[in-house]
Amino acid sequence: MTHKASSDDQQRELSWEDAVSRYLEDHPDFFDRHPEILAKLNLAHEVGGRAISLIERQVSALRDANAGLERQLRELVVIARENDLLATRLHRFALAMADSASLDDVFDTAHEMLRREFKLDAVAIRCRRESGPGLARAELVGEDARLLSVLKQVRAGRPLCGGKFDESLVRYLFGTRAGEIKSTAVVALGDRNPLGVLCLGSHEVQRFHPGMGTVYLVKLGDILMHSIARFT
């Protein structure tokens, strides 16, 4: 009997709290119309336990919310600046590729520009094309079995990014420098039937990771793919 009465009392108290909460939400001007009630309200401070007025509590909450918004704004500004810098570098890369006068020039310029503009520690390009007269290039590997295996992993169009690639794959891509590479991005040169891959390596573990955005990597691959296709 006592237990049931206690439960009923708790239920009624919760119902009243809900009703009061809903009423205040529906009538935000309530305290404007009843300032005498507002003056009597005191809340425990989160730090120290001293009593503070509702106005002080609101000011404190607004100050915390404002600080959070300022942090988000600073983060957005940093991201915007980074994207602007990436766009500028991508533009310079595209212009350099457009000025290339031969396939040799495309490969040499791509290696130089990617290392310099994007601060990369290693760059590798592998293409499904046999070397022609005077074109004995490491980038041209024909129907190499290892390249075909890599292409199967990037046919979906999304670059592979991370630091846990098969050791033999990293060695295939970067040769003697494989041991220095801590993170890698593998970008398909083309979508449905890629003619090869662009591989970017970094000494930094977090430079390329599975959760990163890949829009600019895809654009790099597209620019390089069209530049190579001009001479094939």
Buried b (16+ CB within 10 A) or exposed e, 90-102: beebbebbeebee
DSSP character at residue 179: G
Q: Count, in order, helices (H) and strands (E) of the chain.
A: 8, 6
pTM for this entry: 0.66
CATH 3.30.160.270 fits 100-229, yes or no: no
Q: Which two tokens stand for residue 101?
A: 């006068």
Do 183 and 205 touch, CB atoms closer than 8 A? yes
**Count of C-beta atoms within a 10 Å radius of residue 230:** 12
231 half-sphere exposure, CB direction, 13 A CA radius: 20
Domain residues of the chain, as ranges? Answer: 100-229
Query: Is the Cα dihedral 27, 32, 37, 42 positive or negative?
Result: positive
Per-residue pLDDT of the chain (232 residues; tens, 9 = 90+): 444 445 555 555 557 788 888 888 888 888 778 766 766 666 555 555 555 566 666 677 777 777 778 888 887 887 778 888 888 999 999 999 999 999 999 999 999 999 999 999 999 999 887 655 556 677 888 778 888 888 888 866 788 898 878 888 888 888 888 888 999 999 999 877 888 899 999 999 999 998 888 889 999 999 999 999 888 7
